[in-house]
Amino acid sequence: MPRNTQGGSGHKSQKNSEGNKARNNRLKGDALIEDILDEVSTEGIVVGKVTRRLGCGRMEIAYFNDKGEAFLLQAPLRGGMRGKGKKSVWVDIGSLVMVAETELSGKTHEIIAVMSQEQVVRYRKAKPDADARLFIKDATVEEDKKDEVIFEDDEVNVDAI
């Protein structure tokens, strides 16, 4: 649905503006891309792809190092992305997320931002040596094949049965 630019009786003040959570999320993603372009150290921050939801705000994230090795880690969402903040910053399976290492003993990583499609394109241009497996779209072909019935072309002699 397009933005309400005309106003009217159903128009609410600040309805079409970007919220604080979405703005903070966008600014963190842009800051990471700018740091990569300026060749500033981004140690402790990795970009990974959400593979599964584990419940209680935790996600399973796959990320790849410079050698091409794949790692899986479990990371919870940052507090600002829970509650009302999850309406504007949505984390779904297949989303690219920024994960930061924490110095806490209980949790070692934390999701700090979700990258938008524009940021993913800019990240891919800024870091051409990033693993291509991060950018593969999740295919739903396997789910469609579950409902599919395949008949073999074997001739069956009905009279012999």
When divided into structural domains, the chain yields a total of 1
| 47-19-121 Cα angle (round to 5) | 35
Decide if 87 is inside a domain: yes
* Residue recorded with tokens 């984390």: 91
The position carrying tokens 């939801």 is 53
Q: Which domain holds residue 91?
A: 42-128
Give a yes or no: residue 20 inside a domain: no
Domain assignment present for residue 12? The answer is no
In the structure encoding, which two tokens stand for residue 6, read together? 């005309």
- Tell me whether residue 86 is in a domain: yes
Assigned domain for 47 exists: yes
* Residue 76 placed within a domain: yes
Q: What angle (nearest 5°) sits at the alpha carbon of residue 28, between those of residues 139 and 91? A: 35
Name residues of the chain where pLDDT drops below 50. Answer: 140-142
In a domain, residue 124? The reply is yes
Tell me the chain's radius of gyration from C-alpha atoms.
Answer: 22
3-state class (DSSP) for residue 49: strand
The per-residue pLDDT for range 58-90, each reduced to its tens digit, is 889 998 888 888 888 888 887 666 666 666 778
